Structure 1
Amino acid sequence: MGALEKKLQEEIIKNCNISEKEYECKMTRFLLNIEKFGVVRTIQEILRKGRTSDCFDKLVKANRIDLTMEAVIVKPKYAELFTDDEVNSCYDLLCEYGYY
């Protein structure tokens, strides 16, 4: 795993921990998939299936969309890890929910 992917994984796991503790989101499956397949592959599979991240709706309702996987991967510093289509689909979703 490269340094950038490691940084992404750390940020995603940190956000999952906050989501679980403060908003009662169950992130067990997502975290297990990250451990098994890696963070980039796990995210790509979720996006390929057209799904949102675990607890997306719950975090939107709590006004904490910033904790979602989608909000993390659209950050310019992670752009090289994902295709333009993957980033754009997350950006569009975030816009739809008023994040931008």
Structure 2
Amino acid sequence: MSLEKIFEKELIKKCEIAEKECGCPQKRLLLTIEKFGGVRTVQEILRKGRVSDGFDKLQKANRLDLTMEATIVESKYNELFTDEEVNSCHELLCEYGYYR
């Protein structure tokens, strides 16, 4: 299985957990992933300067680990994204206290 597919599967799994455990709807993100793929979807969200669906709600639930941003910064996925994309996610997660 390609790294891109592994990333996509992990992203989908985290979306499902966010919905189930935190009541954080991820339908729009899941539909977009299904249509365009995980990597392309998150690159487009980042290009537009947006955060993932439910980011604030997941932050309040202390579950930033379920965000696409937390998935992007995992070192095993570094080759899928530019340094700028990874760094912007890292900075956002730092700002919201993910690394405390």
Query: For this structure pair, what is the TM-score category when the shorter chain's length is used for normalisation?
Result: over 0.9
Q: Distance in 2 between matches of 1:24 and 1:64?
A: 12
How high is the TM-score relative to the length of structure 2? 0.96
Cross-structure match for 1:47: 46
Q: Distance in 2 between matches of 1:14 and 1:32?
A: 13
Displacement of 1:56 = 0.3
RMSD of equivalent CA atoms: 0.8
Displacement of 1:24 = 1.1
The percentage of aligned residue pairs carrying the same residue is: 70
How high is the TM-score relative to the length of structure 1? 0.96
Question: Counterpart of 1:50 in 2: which secondary structure?
Answer: coil
Q: Distance in 2 between matches of 1:28 and 1:64?
A: 18
Cross-structure match for 1:30: 29
Cross-structure match for 1:75: 74
Q: 1:80-99 to 2 correspondence within 5 Å? A: 80-99=79-98
Question: Counterpart of 1:86 in 2: which secondary structure?
Answer: helix
Question: Counterpart of 2:56 in 1: which secondary structure?
Answer: helix
Displacement of 1:88 = 0.2
Question: Counterpart of 2:53 in 1: which secondary structure?
Answer: coil
Superposed structure 1 runs of 4+ greater than 2 Å apart: none
Displacement of 1:26 = 1.1
Tell me the matched-pair count. 99
Cross-structure match for 1:62: 61
Gaps of 5+ in 1: none
Q: Distance in 2 between matches of 1:21 and 1:92?
A: 27
Displacement of 1:61 = 0.3
